[in-house]
Amino acid sequence: MHGHDDDFISGADESSMVTGVRPRRPGTSPDPSHLTPLQTYLVKTGKDHYFTYRPDEYYQNPSDYDLKAVLCSITEVSGSLHFSFSADILDREIRRDPRVLLDRAVLWPSDMVEKFKVNKGIYTNINVRDFDIILISAFMIHQVMNVVPFLLQCRINPLKESRPQLVVMGGNCSLLYRYLKPFIDLFYFGDGEPHIRRLLQLRRENRDKRDFVRAVMESEMADCVTDGRVKEIRPAVQKDIGPSILCANDFISKPVNNVLETQRGCKYNCYFCFLTAYKSPYRINKIETLRKAIETYPPGRVLYPFAPDESSYPYKQELRDAVSAQGCRTYMYNKRFDTFNPEPDLQFAEASSRIVFGLDGLSQRIREFNNKQITMDQIWRGMKAVCDNHKIAKVKVNLVFAFDGETEEDYREFEQLFAEVSEYRKKVRPAFDRTPREIFDTILVHKQKIEAPLIFLFGPTPHVPMPGTPFEFMASAFRKWHADRLKRAISWLQNTYAFFTFEGLNAEDSHNSQVMLWRAGEELIPVLLAWHRTVGMKPFSSSDNRVFLRFARNMGLNYEAYLGEISQSKYPEIKFKIPEGKRRTLFLEAKERLHETKAA
């Protein structure tokens, strides 16, 4: 466990590593003779999703500049986990032309993912372990759970006490630091932009890891950084998030030319999720800032007004008018039922025919217990509006289900809701006033198109008990009953009304292994090492989980024991914005329901 880094991946091919191609200056073309095969592939396919950060000093005198840093973003694409090097939290001058940083790759297409799965040495092309500081950003829980496999794939010792590299982690899931502190040197809370340069400066001044950590903890960043020791975190928040006008490829994989960041952070306190409102409070960009940026775009561009909650900012019509006056079009994607206002919001569907809603809980009872703050009237208002608007051809509903205490009644309420939506769809889209068999005969036999089609796509994800929330101790194994019951509900909708589908159970296989990592801690590392040496796969990817869990049992790790533990007593408390009395009440209510469910 404490040996040299070379011991971590067997069969690694040193000759295949990138030797460090120097980044181009803006406006120059790459020299094909100096590109690695991987870089050639990226240039050829246009998949230049980005890369290495080097400050301006590097270009002034590169021979004297010996500090290298990389920003890594662990992302989820089409149900598979990938690790990309991105520019999502770089300062603005780097965003101006990220192509100058075409140095190290990226987001893997499917054929390269397959090569990685059979351990073809894809990640040895990214010599990450040569960097002095590695900044990792992660949003979803799946991504956080893959931090250790990511470090292994980069040939870096995952245990922070046994490696020379510094790993700093931020993003939406940094509240999980209690579980990842053996592997991450520093955790960042809040936005990274204000302090990236300061982190790099302190690293240059303090080459010893301990000196660097001490310097950071004593600097102006002390309120927003922790080394893993429990503390009351007071996030450093910028009141003005700046223009944040991003090239689409810098930020998000959507069919758009540019991204307008209208707001940042979260203003909600849903108890089941990451309590993001505590770590990254809500604030909006000024319409004047966005209008000035819009005026610089040529006509015909597709612009995406992006935000965690795309329908809550107050200047929708003004923004829409500014985009229209410039001769550009808008793209629309993710909405919340409670802030969705059909008349102004659906005007943004110029370059899209799809809308996404979140339904975090199958019944109103579960949503209220989660403090989701969404009512049945608001859900019906949103569903009715998309049925009425014939430009909308697909409605995706992201579901969180499998909460402890769910009953048959909760699933029946879910079925009844979408049965009523389907009946209304028949009224406003007459092509659906037929049986599913007749509809599909029209398409398959008579080769006719359905007029104003409207598909409901469900993206279900089993609830994972989040650390630091009232559900933290509900680490029960995912029950097959939940999956079977949800599949029956969606099958009934398909057979009764047609044009209902779902994209598979997200994280169904990874639920148990994620909980196992929280409970196992350092004990899991030898298993991960053995797994990686044996098959070279990602332990928490959806395709490998069943095999990995069997492998863990064979290695002597009894994960069932960890699933039954209650972590509330194992870890100290963190102070959140939930009032103490309310938080205690929630814990007691949830615990009582859990005991009642087990007794039943």
3-state secondary structure of 582: helix
Pick the closest to residue 260 from 303, 322, 316, 319 (CA basis): 303
- Out of 246-250, 415-419, 469-473, the most confident range is 415-419
Q: Over range 464-479, report the average pLDDT.
A: 48
pLDDT for res 19: 24
Percent of the chain clearing pLDDT 90 (strictly above) = 13
Q: How far is CA 369 from CA 138, 153, 309, 315, 473, in A?
A: 27, 40, 21, 32, 16
pLDDT for res 32: 52
- Can you give the residue ranges of every domain in the chain? 5-189+192-226, 239-345, 353-508+570-600
Q: How far is CA 223 from CA 17, 126, 469, 579, 584, in A?
A: 38, 33, 22, 21, 26
Q: Over range 262-273, report the average pLDDT.
A: 71
Per the listing, tokens 């899931």 go with: 173
Rg from Cα positions in the chain: 25
pLDDT for res 328: 93
Average the pLDDT over each of 73-77, 90-94, 319-323 and give the range with the smallest value: 90-94
pLDDT for res 568: 34
- Out of 44-53, 335-344, 539-548, the most confident range is 335-344
C-alpha 148/C-alpha 140 separation (Å) is 15
DSSP code string of 369-417: HTT----HHHHHHHHHHHHH-TT--EEEEEEEE--TT--HHHHHHHHHH
250 has pLDDT over 70? no
Average the pLDDT over each of 20-24, 261-265, 510-514 and give the range with the smallest value: 20-24
C-alpha 355/C-alpha 393 separation (Å) is 9
3-state secondary structure of 308: coil
pLDDT for res 484: 85
C-alpha 82/C-alpha 259 separation (Å) is 22
- 353-508+570-600 domain in CATH 3.40.309.10? no
Q: Are 26 and 96 in contact (CB under 8 A)?
A: yes
pLDDT for res 427: 94
C-alpha 352/C-alpha 340 separation (Å) is 17
Where residue 177 falls among pLDDT bands split at 50, 70, 90?
low
pLDDT for res 351: 85
Say how many residues make up the chain.
600
Residues 6+ apart with CB under 8 A from 156: 5, 8, 128, 129, 134, 163, 165, 167
pTM: 0.62
- How many other C-beta atoms can be found within 10 angstroms of the C-beta atom of residue 512? 24
Position 55, amino acid: P
Where residue 322 falls among pLDDT bands split at 50, 70, 90?
very high
pLDDT for res 313: 83
467 has pLDDT over 70? no
Residues 6+ apart with CB under 8 A from 71: 53, 85, 86, 87, 88, 89, 90, 135, 136, 137
Residues 6+ apart with CB under 8 A from 548: 513, 531, 537, 539, 540
- Does the CA dihedral 279-250-202-139 come out positive or negative? positive
Q: Exposure of 568 by Cβ count < 10 A (0-12 exposed, 13-18 middle, 19+ buried)?
A: middle
Where residue 116 falls among pLDDT bands split at 50, 70, 90?
very low
Residues 6+ apart with CB under 8 A from 37: none
Where residue 401 falls among pLDDT bands split at 50, 70, 90?
confident
Where residue 346 falls among pLDDT bands split at 50, 70, 90?
very high
Q: Over range 321-348, report the average pLDDT.
A: 91
pLDDT for res 546: 61
Average the pLDDT over each of 3-17, 160-174, 237-251, 527-541 and give the range with the smallest value: 3-17
At 537, give phi and psi (nearest 5°).
-110, 170
Q: Over range 423-443, report the average pLDDT.
A: 86
306 has pLDDT over 60? yes
Pick the closest to residue 170 from 185, 193, 192 (CA basis): 192
Q: Strand 186-188 and strand 225-226: pairing?
A: antiparallel
Where residue 225 falls among pLDDT bands split at 50, 70, 90?
confident
Per the listing, tokens 């240039």 go with: 43
Where residue 263 falls among pLDDT bands split at 50, 70, 90?
confident
Q: Do domains 239-345 and 353-508+570-600 have the same CATH topology?
A: yes
Half-sphere exposure of 10 (CA within 13 A, CB side): 10
Q: Over range 338-356, report the average pLDDT.
A: 89
Where residue 332 falls among pLDDT bands split at 50, 70, 90?
confident
- Which tokens go with 106? 């990226």
Topology of the domain covering 239-345: Transcription Regulator spoIIAA (3.30.750)
60 has pLDDT over 60? no
C-alpha 80/C-alpha 456 separation (Å) is 22
pLDDT for res 548: 65
Pick the closest to residue 82 from 13, 146, 169 (CA basis): 146
Where residue 409 falls among pLDDT bands split at 50, 70, 90?
very high
Where residue 69 falls among pLDDT bands split at 50, 70, 90?
very low
- How many other C-beta atoms can be found within 10 angstroms of the C-beta atom of residue 404? 18
Where residue 122 falls among pLDDT bands split at 50, 70, 90?
very low
- Does the CA dihedral 432-436-437-440 come out positive or negative? positive
pLDDT for res 324: 94
438 has pLDDT over 90? no
Q: Over range 419-429, report the average pLDDT.
A: 95
E runs forming strands in 421-512? 455-462, 500-502
Where residue 425 falls among pLDDT bands split at 50, 70, 90?
very high
Q: Over range 190-204, report the average pLDDT.
A: 69
